[in-house]
Amino acid sequence: MVAVFSVGLRNNSRIKMRMNKQPVELDTLLLAGISDKLSTMMWWQTKDGQKGVNRPDSLVDVITNSQPKEKNVIAFSSGEDFTNRRNETPKKTRKEENNWQTEIRSSLYTNYAFS
């Protein structure tokens, strides 16, 4: 019944925003996204950004109350530790081993960090 009456309402009306589960207007969300990208670009230029620490908080995440994603990162202090960890994994079949090694190679720079 509410849907029938809400057809003629503006997109930024409280009822339509509530039906679409929008916490704020689209314009506000877009401006927050632009601000996030700009602050991230500025952060990359700092010493902290080059080290990957103290990343600025996302305004979009704050506005939408979204939870931060858990990062699945394994850090190794040396290449030897990485090799030992890789060798600890059970070797089942040659095909599965090759798939695992291919996955490690492809995600080496994104999921694994050498400190």
φ, ψ at 95 (rounded to 5°): -65, -45
* Contact yes or no for 49/21 (Cβ under 8 A): no
φ, ψ at 112 (rounded to 5°): -115, 140
Mean pLDDT computed over 20-36: 90
Task: Name the pLDDT band for 30 (thresholds 50, 70, 90).
Answer: very high
Q: In the chain, what's the furthest Cα-to-Cα distance?
A: 66
R_g (Cα) of the chain, nearest Å: 23
Q: pLDDT tens-digit profile of 39-87?
A: 999 999 999 988 989 899 999 988 888 776 777 778 888 888 888 888 8
